[in-house]
Structure 1
């Protein structure tokens, strides 16, 4: 059983569960939006993506961020998912991240899009 993210209770008052596909998407979101140093027992967990908020927007920064995010996803989720591509866009006050990946168990390609106000 995989716990749903964010944690919540289901209709029976138990911990809500997520299927494998939703669980992988939840894990990707956690890696993307967790800052290194945020988790006490895993100080290197995360991607540092939110630091983009404080940097000037440029093509070089977007490229560097894509490499950093893809590396973090490979490091923390490499045994669960095959990351094919990561796209990072910064538009006005929104940060858009698109992750293209393959679920190894089923060989299904998936695309997850995330957006956060910065």
Structure 2
């Protein structure tokens, strides 16, 4: 078991934990929604995806963001998972990222969707 994200407590008052699959999903979420420079000892960690919430949408921006997200996920989580697809959609002030991946330890195919709104 790994620490749950966001950090919290379970019903017994202990630090909440997450299963292996939930932990990997939590790690993906952390990479996606952490801005570069936000972590002092890891200044390149993250994607800056939250900036999309306030940017004008366009197909070119969505494509560029897809490459940015895929590169960051590969850099930070490439030893745990193999990415088979990343899709980024930005509608109004909402960003939705769908990540398809294979967990290297178990070879299990997974898919996770993350949504953030700016309003």
* RMSD (Å) for aligned C-alpha atoms: 1.0
The aligned residue for residue 86 of structure 1 is: 86
Q: Distance in 1 between matches of 2:53 and 2:95?
A: 8
Structure 1 length as normaliser, TM-score? 0.95
The aligned residue for residue 50 of structure 1 is: 50
Matched residue count: 118
CA contact (8 A) 2:4 2:16 kept: yes
Structure 1: state its 5+ residue gaps. Answer: none
Q: Distance in 1 between matches of 2:99 and 2:110?
A: 8
Per the alignment, in what secondary structure is the counterpart of residue 116 of structure 2?
A: strand
The aligned residue for residue 8 of structure 2 is: 8
Q: Distance in 1 between matches of 2:19 and 2:83?
A: 19
The aligned residue for residue 67 of structure 2 is: 67
Structure 2 length as normaliser, TM-score? 0.95
Per the alignment, in what secondary structure is the counterpart of residue 82 of structure 1?
A: strand
